[in-house]
Amino acid sequence: MDAETKFREMDWAGIVRKSLVQRIFKDRPLYHQIEDFVSAIGWGEPLIVGLLSMNAVILVLILLTRKHFTFRAVLFFVIAGLVSSSKYINAWCRTHWEAIATQNYFDEDGVFCVMFFAGPLLCWGFWLVICMVWSSGELLIEVKRRELKDALKKRRTKNEANSSAADGAADTGRHGEEKQTQMAAGEGGVQQQEGGVRERKKGEGAAE
């Protein structure tokens, strides 16, 4: 059995470790290492399909919940909890790998767990943080806009009220002046009538 056949019959963790060593010392081309890596994974296994499906579902949830800040916050904390527990998940899967996979993908360093579980979750969590910060900024801008609109509306209402009060005072003053003018005119007419009466009486007295 040649070295190439032995390399391909190694388990997944052994291939990763050997690929890293060979990459460092540049004993094998990169495309050969990628080919060995891809061929060592059983892409039809329920474990692999489940992990890929989980990441796809998280991606869809992130895209569909753009306006649901609370849901995204809950999803972020769930992702953070899973990432922080990845060490213990990898240890449990390393002990019980026969129940969930056809070969032991779970090495002590947790390379598989990082590449297929914790790594993508970290990416989704980082994306959620960016989206939530962006949403918070948009919400703050919207609140400030509403505050400015309310302030302008109150100022406009106050100005209209002041203008109405000024118009009312002007109307009241105008009515007062008209009333005074009418009263003065009335008094003048009475005085003229009294003067006329006195002149008639004088005329009558002179005639007698």
Mean pLDDT by 10 residues, the chain (208 residues): 47 56 52 68 85 93 87 92 92 88 83 89 93 86 88 82 65 61 57 58 56
Write the secondary structure of the chain as one string of H (helix), E (strand) and C (coil). Answer: CCHHHHHHCCCHHHHHHHHHHHHHHCCCCHHHHHHHHHHHCCCCCHHHHHHHHHHHHHHHHHHHCCCCHHHHHHHHHHHHHHHHCHHHHHHHHHHCHHHCCCCCCCCCCCHHHHHHHHHHHHHHHHHHHHHHHHHHHHHHHHHHHHHHHHHHHHHHHHHHHHHHHHHHHHHHHHHHHHHHHHHHHHHHHHHHHHHHHHHHHHHHHHHC
Q: What is the pLDDT of residue 60?
A: 93
Q: What is the pLDDT of residue 1?
A: 45
Q: What is the pLDDT of residue 21?
A: 47
Q: What is the pLDDT of residue 24?
A: 42
Q: What is the pLDDT of residue 79?
A: 94
pTM for this prediction: 0.59
